[in-house]
Amino acid sequence: MDEQLFFKRLNNLCTSKDIFYFLTSLEVMSDTMAAGALQRISEVEVDDSGLKNPALLENEVFRALCFQFEFESSKLSNTGLLNALQALIKLRIDPQSTLMTSLLSESEERLGRGQLTAENLCSLGESLLELESPGCATLEQIVNHMQERDVQRWSPREIVMVYRILQVTAREGKQCQSLLNRLNSVTFPTVSQLSPNFTSVILNSLAVLHQTRAVLLVTALCKHSVKHVPYFTDHELVNVLEAFLYFGQNLQIFTEALERHVPRSILTMHPQTVSKVMHYCCKKMILSKPILDAVAEGFISSADRLTTDQIAAYIIPFGTLNYLPPSASSLFRKLEAVLHTRLRHFQPHTLLNLLHSCVLIQRYPINFLPKIFSPYFLQKLQAQPPGLNRVVMSQLTQLFLTVTLECPFYEGPKLLSKYQVKACPMPHTPDVHLFKRVKTGLLYLLKKRIYFASEVSTPYFYVVDFEIKLDEEGLVLPAAQLEEVHRRIALCVDGQNRFCAHSHNLLGEEAIKQRHLQLLGYEVVQIPFFEIESLQNTRKIADYLHKKIFPCTYGLSN
């Protein structure tokens, strides 16, 4: 049969059974046709979870094909040899089998003799990269042969393969920065032509190879990736998100593309991909209601199939970003049901992070706190990295403070004092410029520095940016005075780092702090950056502070 007709008919067949039947009808087949048949079998019989039907490896026709390749490897064309190798690796044939050893050995011999074309080098490189432990020497040999050709003439496929090879050789400690510099320069003009897969692979390689100086290339790839968001596979999207995080990229148009894609795909996306999307939003402090709402719905319908780490990854960002979705009641009902059945399966630190995130948004895990405060659980926390460090003990203290202040009906075990910290490490330190402007404004308003204190450690775990004390008649007292204090005013100077990105929504850590300060008897006055940044001089800032702190007397002295 004519090869063109053969491949046309072969590509219309969708099961290995049909392919085998078709092959038995042929009297003669070239090696490229036989290799093409193996490739088509691998396409229809292999998915993300592996080989669908292992029994096909025992099929007589399949075994006959393999026999031909094993014992006639030296007679094969380069295309037949390398296409067969690629297909058999995809079919998970044991690399140590005589069949695979024969094909790999023949490929390496031809590589050494310089008999492989650029196309052949690509096929061999891609095949070796699919093996669990490819030989670095052979991969380096492929790159060396490729460098004999002008790098400027490499195709996108060749560029991608070399990036992947350099990732492997870098793990072995090989230095390749000079080649990378040339590769980065050559890649930049081709960015607009790159497919979703190539875009993802190159971004991943740049991150793994720590190419922080390739700023123009990284930026171009990140912008180019926006249009591919709907077409990335789960694995490709994870690679892109990791690269965005590694290189500190934060493109609004990328977030908007995710906001369109995630709600449409939430029911078919792999949970690990959803977890990475949530991790990305959390790290970038992006309060994306379309994404969070969709993930909440996805959790309600699929929580029973998630791992404990995935459960935490789905839920924690709601607390971090201080957001309750419309389906909050169903979401936390489902979370409670899952925790009841799978509580013992959670790693201690994962469970603590999860429950701590819940209290940030006033969802109280009362039924599970006796376990958290038990000496046995605390010992497990201490035994596993990072142990009982300051952050972990702050989470425990904040959980205990939450049930003390917000859940007076809780009658379970208390957190022993040795596990409590006296002061919370400030998760979001004050904006220095904003802090200085408020301090100058207070001095102008109150006339003397003795009438307010800054960065005050309260007896109740939290640090207050500024504190003002008043007596019973509302007169300002010196900050150092301890007697006759009738009211305490806590000024929270909230810079942009205490809010979600491009938003006026306070982060969960800041929201719970202000809530607790109020419950502890403070009058909390929030000074957000967006109210004060446009005020141009000290008098205007003092006027603004007067209105915020003493609204009852504002205007009386004017």
- Which CATH number is 515's domain given? 3.40.960.10
pLDDT, mean of residues 233-238: 97
Q: Looking at residue 193, what is its pLDDT?
A: 93
Spell out the residues 6+ positions from residue 83 whose beta carbon is closer than 8 angstroms to its own: 32, 35, 36, 38, 39, 123
Neighbours of 62 (CB within 10 A): 19
Q: Which domain holds residue 495?
A: 432-549
Whether pLDDT at 468 is above 80 = yes
Q: Does any domain span residue 447?
A: yes
* In the predicted structure, residue 409 carries a pLDDT above the cut 70: yes
- Residue 50 has a pLDDT of 84
Instruction: Specify if 459 maps to a domain.
Output: yes
Kindly state the tokens that stand for 356: 């701590």
Q: With cut-offs at 50, 70 and 90, classify the pLDDT of residue 497.
A: very high
Distance CA 66, CA 31 (A): 11
Q: pLDDT digits over 281-298, tens only? A: 999 999 999 999 999 999
Give pLDDT, residue 558.
Answer: 42
Residue 78 neighbours by CB distance under 10 Å: 20
Q: Tell me, rounded to whole angstroms, the distance of Cα 170 from its chain centroid.
A: 23
Task: Specify if 339 maps to a domain.
Answer: no
- In-domain check, residue 383: no
pLDDT at 27: 84
With cut-offs at 50, 70 and 90, classify the pLDDT of residue 509.
very high
DSSP state of 266: T
Q: Out of 135-139, 149-153, 239-243, give the one with best mean pLDDT.
A: 239-243
68: tokens are 């031909």
pLDDT classification of 556: cutoffs 50, 70, 90: very low
For residue 419, tell me if it sits in a domain: no
Taking all residues of the chain, what is their mean pLDDT, rounded to a whole number?
92
The mean per-residue pLDDT over the stretch 216-238 comes to 97
- Position 461 in a domain: yes
With contact defined as beta carbons under 8 Å apart, do 201 and 240 qualify?
no
pLDDT for 33-70, tens place per residue?
A: 999 999 999 999 988 778 888 888 999 999 999 998 99
Number of domains in the chain: 1
Q: How confident is the model at residue 276 (pLDDT cuts 50, 70, 90)?
A: very high
| Residue 487 located in a structural domain | yes
Confidence of residue 134 (pLDDT cuts 50, 70, 90): low
* pLDDT over threshold 80, residue 175: no
Q: Checking DSSP bridges between strand 453-457 and strand 487-494, what pairing results, if any?
A: unpaired
Give ∠ CA 444-445-447 in degrees, rounded to 5. Answer: 65
- The answer on pLDDT for 337 being more than 90 is yes
Predicted pLDDT at 429: 79
Average pLDDT of the segment spanning 299-315: 97
Count other Cβ atoms within 10 Å, centred on residue 427.
15
CA 294/CA 327 separation, integer angstroms: 10
Max mean pLDDT range (56-65, 257-266, 472-481): 257-266
Confidence of residue 460 (pLDDT cuts 50, 70, 90): confident
